[in-house]
A and B are shown apart, each in its own frame.
Chain A
Amino acid sequence: MSLLLGSMRHHIPGYKELTSKKAILEVNAGPQVFIPMFASHSTQFEILVQEGDHVKVGTKIAVCKDRMEIPIYSSVSGTVKGVQKIMHMSLKPLDHVVIENDGKMERELPFQPLDYQTATREELIAFMKEAGIIGQGGAGFPTYVKYQSAKDIKKLIIDAAECEPYITADHIAMENHLDEILVGILAMRKMAQAEEAVIAIKKTHTEMIKKVEAAVANINGVRVLAVPDVYPIGWERALVRYVMKKDYQKLPSEAGAIVNNVSTAYAFANALLHGEPIITALMTVSGNAVKEPVNVHCPVGVPASELIEACGGYTCEDVKLIAAGAMMGKTIVNDKFVAERQMNAITVLATESYDSVACMRCGQCCDVCPVGLQPVRIVQSAKAKNQAMMEKLHAMDCIECGLCAYICPSRLDVTENVRKAKRQLAMAKK
C-alpha cells in the first residue's frame, strides 16, 4: 500500500473454472470460411488469389506490405469465392476473403520447418516474418519486429498471466502443448539473445506453476515467475515493471526486456516444428450466456455463430457478444464475425443494464489506472473541451484496459468517455 499512489491494478474475479478443466473442443470449418484482411497497423492487403482459384490449407492468399510485412494463409482447402466486407472483431467492417470449404483439408507447406538450434538469429527472424507470426495476446502486432531491433535484451518475458476474466486459452495451451511452447520460448530467447526467459504465471494458478516448473527444471535460463492475480498484470508495461523493476519510455527493450504471449510462442513453435502458419485459433468461448463454455480449436475464418452453436448456443435472448475478453473486447451486434488469428476468446454475457448515478469524484478510477492517469479529470476536461488540460493529463496514454469503468461505483462508462477525449485530441491534431 502506498501513501501517494493507489493500487494501480485490481483483482477481478476470473471465472476461469468454467473452462480451465475441460478438454479442447475441435470445431471444423463450415461450408465457407471468411479470412479477415487485418493487421494491427493496416488493412492494406495485396490479395494473391482470385475468385475461382483453388487453395489448400497453408496457401498464401494475401500479404500486407504496408510498413510491416504480414502474410496471410488459407485455413481450409477449397475455392476462393471472392472478397466480402464483414464486421471484424476490431469493430470495423473489413475485407474478408471468402473460401468455399471442400471439406478435404488438403495441406501444403508454405515453408519448411526449421531447427531453431542450428538456425542463426537472422534466419529465425526471417522465418518468423514469413510465417506471419503475430502477437496472440489480442493485439496482433507482428512479432518479428520486436526481435529485429532487439539489443541488450536481458530477459524474454513470456506472458502466461492471462489476466482477462473468463479466458483460459493460454492456460489450456500450456496444459496440452507445453513441450511445443518450450521450443517456441527457446527459439525466441535465442532471437532476443536474452540471458533468461521468464514465464509469468498468476500466483493463484499453483498447479500450472508446478507443472511448468517441472518442465523447465532441466533447462538453463528458463524459469517460472509467479505474478499477482490482478488486472492488468499481463499488460506489457505492468509485466516489465514487475519483472525488471524498471519503467521505459517507448519500448520494453529500453528496460532490457521483450514481452511475448505464451500462445505466440506456441504459434511460433507450430511454424518451426510443423511448417504451419497461424491458420487455426485456440480460443475460449465462455461467459454467463453460453450454454457450454469451453475452449475451442478451429480454423481461422469460422464465423462466431458456428462456434457458439458448437458450444450449445446462447442461454438467453438478449446477450452481449464480445469478440475477446469481457474487459477489453468489443461487443459486436451480430454473430457473423469470424475467428481471427490473434483472437483468444469470445465472451457471451447476458445483457444487464447498470443503474448509473452522477460521478462523485471518488477518484477510484485514478487509484486503479495502471498508467497512473486521472480518468475522472480527463473526462471532465473532455466535457469542457479543454484540450490543453487533456494533454496535460496524458489522455493519449490511456490503454483502454477498462479498469476505470469496471471500478466506477457510479457505474459510468469512464473508459468510453476517456476514448472520447482521445478522439477529441486526435481530431484536433489532424
Chain B
Amino acid sequence: MKFTFSVSPNLRQKQSTKRMMLELTIALLIVYAFSLFYYFKEFGSEYAIQALLMMATALGVTFVTEIAWALFKKENMKKYLASSFGWITAIILVLMCPVDTQLYALGMATFFAIFVGRILFGGFGQNIFNPAAVGFAIIFASFAGSKVADVATGATPISTMATGYNWLTLNDTMISTLLDKFDGLWNLFLGWYPGGLGETSTLLLLVLGAILAIRKVIDWRVPLIYLGSIFVLSSALALFSGMSNWLWYPIFHVCTGGVAFGAVFMLSDPVTSPATKQGKCVFALGAGIITVLIRVLANAPEGCMYSILIMNMLTPAIDQAFSGKQRALIKKSWISLSVLSLLGLGSMYLANMAITPAEPKKPEKPKTEMIAMGDDYVNSLSAKLDGSVKNADGSTTYQITAEGFAAKEGPNMPDYGHPFEPNQFEITIAADNKTIVSVNVTAMNDTEYFGDKILNAKYLDQFKGKDISTLNEVEKNDVVSGATFSVKSSMRALLEVKKALGY
C-alpha cells in the first residue's frame, strides 16, 4: 500500500491551460478559414495559396526555432513543444498580416516574435510584450516595403481613412464615397473586404469572442471595455466635430483596423495583461484611449497594435498600483477608471481642435500657360508663306510651312521613323485683314501623340475672332500639354501671316 504525499488541495478543476490553448487555436483557425474563403472567392486560388503559404511559413519558422532551442537547452522535445504554445503566436501573427505580405518578411517577423518575443524572456508565461504584436511591429518598422504591390487588395478601409480622409470628414459625399468603396457599414461589420487576414470580420470575431468568454478562455471585460471605449471616444470626437449623422463614425472605428481581432485574441492574452479584474479593466480602457489617439493624431492605421504594446509595457505598473486586497481596492479602481475616461474624453476634445476634417478637393483649374509671340524659340524657327487664296467672302487663306520640333531637332533625334518635315498650316483672315477666321493644320509631322495634340479644336478655336495685329501671346491650354514645340510651330506660322500683313 502506498500513501502518496501531496500538498492540499487535492482536487483540481477540469479546465486546463492546454485545453484553453486548444480552444483558442480552434477559434483562430475558424477566423483563418473565413479569410481563406474570402480570398479564394473574391480574388481566386492564387491569393488563397498565398495565404496558405504565409501560414506554412510562420508555423514552419516557429517549430524550427523552438526545436532548435529545445535541442540547445536539451529539453524534452515533445513536452517542450506541447507546452510552449508557440503556434498560437504564429497564427495570430499571420492573421494580422495582409495577404500581400512577403514570405521572407513574415518569416523574419515570426522568428523575432518567437525567439525575442518569447524564448529570450523565458518562454511561455514570461514574456512582457505580446509576441505577435512584437513580430508585427518588426514587419512595419523594418520591412515597410515588404508588400507585393497589389492594387487589388492594397486599399483597406483603415488605410483609406488614414491616407485619404485625415480620420475625420464632415462632408456627406465623402462619407458615402468612403463607405460605398467597401460596400457600406454592414459589409464592414461582416468583414468582406481586404485587410489583415483575420482582422476584417468584426461579426465573426465578436461571436468567437463571446464563445471564448463563456468558456472562460478569455475574460469578457477586456474586449468589451476596449471596443466600448473606442466606440464612445470616437462618438465623442464625432460629436465634438459637429458631425450630423455621426453614428457611422464609431461603427467604422470599431469595425476596422483589427481592433476586434486585437480585443479578442491579443489584448486578452493573460500573460501580458494585469492579474486582477481591476487591473484588466484599467488596462483595456487605456488601450482603447491610446488606439483612438494614435489613429486620429498620429494618423496611423496601426493604433491597435501599438496600443497593445504600450499597455503591455504598463502592465507591471498597473499590477503594482493595484496591490492589496481586491475588495479594498474597488474605490481606487473606480477613481482610476473615471480619471482615465475623463482624460480620454478631454483628449478627444483637444484632438477635435487639432484635426482638420478632410474636405472634398475642388476641381482644379486646367493648367494654362501663356507663350509670348516674341518667344526665343518661336523666332528661332524658320517659316515661309507658300501662297494665299482670296475667298468669295473677301477673306484670305494663307498657306504657311513652319518648322516644328521634328524639322528643327530632327538631326539630333534618334531614329524617328519618318522624314523630319516641317508642319503646314492654313490660316484664314477676314476681309478686314485683322480678324482671324480659322487656323488649321494641314500637315503635322511632329512627334506622334504629342505634336498632334495641337489638332485639337479646343486649342485651335482660341484664335477665332482674335485680331492678328495685336496677337502677342498664345494660350497653351491643357489639351496641348506636352506639345509645347508644336504649339510654337503654329505660333511661328501665325507670326509669318502677321508679318505678311505688315503688322
The answer to whether B9 touches A326 (Cβ under 8 A) is yes
Q: In the complex, what distance in Å separates the CA atom of A427 from the CA atom of B13?
A: 32
Chain B CB within 10 A, most for which of A360, A364, A371, A392: A360
Choice from A331, A360, A366 contacting B5 with Cβ under 8 Å: A331
| B11 → A minimal CB distance (Å) | 5
B325 at the interface (CB under 8 A from A): yes
In contact, A165 and B125 (Cβ under 8 angstroms): no
What chain A residues lie within 8 Å of B278 (beta carbons)? 4-5
Binary interface encoding of chain A residues 1-32 relative to chain B, with 1 for a CB under 8 A from any of its CBs, else 0: 01111101010100000000000000000000
Q: Assess whether A319 is interfacial by the CB under 8 Å rule.
A: yes
B18 touching A5, Cβ below 8 Å: no
A345 CB–B CB distance under 8 Å = no
Task: For chain A, residues 337 to 363, give those with C-beta under 8 angstroms from any C-beta of chain B.
Answer: 347, 349, 351, 354-355, 357-363
- B123 close to chain A: CB less than 8 A: yes
Closest-by-CB residue of A relative to B278 is A4
Q: A359-B125, A361-B125, A361-B270 are in contact. Are A335 and B319 (CB under 8 A)?
A: no
A residues within 8 A CB of B273? 361
Complex Cα–Cα for A259 and B374 (A): 112
Chain B residue with Cβ nearest A305: B1
Judge if A367 is at the interface, Cβ distance under 8 Å.
yes
Determine the chain A residues whose CB is within 8 A of the CB of B3 once the complex forms. Answer: 319-321, 331-335
| A397 contacts chain B at the CB level, 8 A cutoff | yes
In the complex, are the beta carbons of A363 and B274 less than 8 A apart?
A: yes
Collect the chain A residues with CB atoms within 8 Å of residue B10's CB.
Answer: 320, 322, 326-327, 329, 331, 347, 349
Q: Is the CB of A402 within 8 A of B326?
A: no
Kindly provide the distance from the CB of A291 to the nearest chain B CB, expressed in whole angstroms: 14
Q: Say yes or no: is A330 at the interface (Cβ < 8 Å to chain B).
A: yes
Q: Say whether, besides A363-B270, A367-B277, A376-B275, A394 and B9 are in contact (CB < 8 Å).
A: no
Cβ of B13: which chain A residues have Cβ within 8 Å of it?
10, 12, 406-407, 409
In the bound assembly, the distance between CA atoms of A73 and B296 in angstroms comes to 79
Contact check, A393 vs B221: say whether CB atoms are below 8 A apart. Answer: no
- Tell me which residues across on chain A come within 8 A of B219, comparing CB atoms: 363
Q: How far is the CA of A357 from the CA of B319 in the complex (A)?
A: 23
Residues of A within 8 A of B17 (CB): 357, 360, 362, 409-411
Contacts of A371 in B (CB 8 A): 325
Query: Which A residues are in CB contact (< 8 Å) with B1?
Result: 314, 317, 319
- Return A301 CB to nearest CB of chain B, in Å: 20
Contacts of B11 in A (CB 8 A): 12, 165, 326-327, 349, 402, 406
Asked whether any CB of chain A lies closer than 8 Å to the CB of B2, the reply is yes
* Cα A283 to Cα B327 with chains together (Å): 35
Quick one: closest B residue to A11, CB to CB? Answer: B13
How many B residues have CB within 8 A of the partner chain? 47
Q: Is A377 an interface residue (CB 8 A)?
A: yes
Q: Knowing A406-B13, A410-B17 are in contact, say whether A317-B2 is a contact too (CB < 8 A).
A: yes
Knowing A322-B10, A363-B274, A366-B275, the reply to whether A393 touches B123 (Cβ < 8 A) is no
> Which residues from 305 to 359 on chain B have a C-beta closer than 8 Å to any C-beta of chain A?
319, 323-328, 330, 333-334
Measured in the bound complex, the distance between the Cα atoms of B40 and A100 in whole Å is: 86
Question: A413 on the interface (CB 8 Å rule)?
Answer: yes
Which residues of B are found within 8 Å of A347, using beta-carbon distances?
A: 10
Is B281's CB within 8 Å of the partner chain A? yes
The answer to whether the Cβ of B126 comes within 8 Å of any Cβ in the partner chain is yes
CB contact under 8 A between A372 and B20, given known A6-B277, A360-B270: no
Chain A nearest CB from B327 CB (Å) reads: 5
Cβ contacts under 8 Å, A377 to chain B: 275, 319, 323
A403 to B10, CA, bound (A): 10
Give CA–CA (A410, B2) in the complex, Å.
Answer: 26
A411 touches B9 (CB 8 A): no
Q: How far does the Cβ of B409 sit from chain A's closest Cβ, in whole Å?
A: 75
Chain B residues near A410 (CB, 8 Å)? 16-17, 125
Q: Does A373 contact B (CB under 8 A)?
A: yes
Provide the B246-290 mask, 1 if CB < 8 A to any CB of A, else 0. 000000000000000000000000110111111011000000000
- Assess the A360–B275 pair: CB atoms within 8 A: no
If A357-B83, A363-B274 touch, whether A328 touches B325 (CB-CB below 8 Å) is no
> Per-residue 0/1 for B361-405: is the Cβ within 8 Å of any A Cβ (1 yes, 0 no)?
000000000000000000000000000000000000000000000
Would B9 and A318 count as touching, CB distance under 8 A?
no
* B8 lies within 8 A of A328 (CB): yes
Residues of A within 8 A of B8 (CB): 322, 326-331, 400, 402, 405, 415-416
| Any A CB within 8 A of the CB of B141 | no
**Nearest B residue (CB) for A420:** B7
**Are A393 and B323 in touch, CB under 8 angstroms?**
yes
B323 contact set on A, CB distance < 8 A = 374, 377, 389, 392-393
A3-B281 CB under 8 A given contacts A347-B10, A394-B325 = yes
Contact (Cβ within 8 A) B325 A3: no
The 5 closest A-B pairs by CB, nearest first: A402-B9, A372-B326, A358-B125, A362-B270, A416-B7
- Residue contacts A-B, CB under 8 angstroms, 17 given: A3-B281, A12-B13, A329-B8, A351-B4, A358-B124, A363-B274, A373-B325, A373-B326, A389-B323, A393-B323, A402-B9, A403-B9, A405-B8, A409-B15, A409-B16, A416-B7, A416-B8
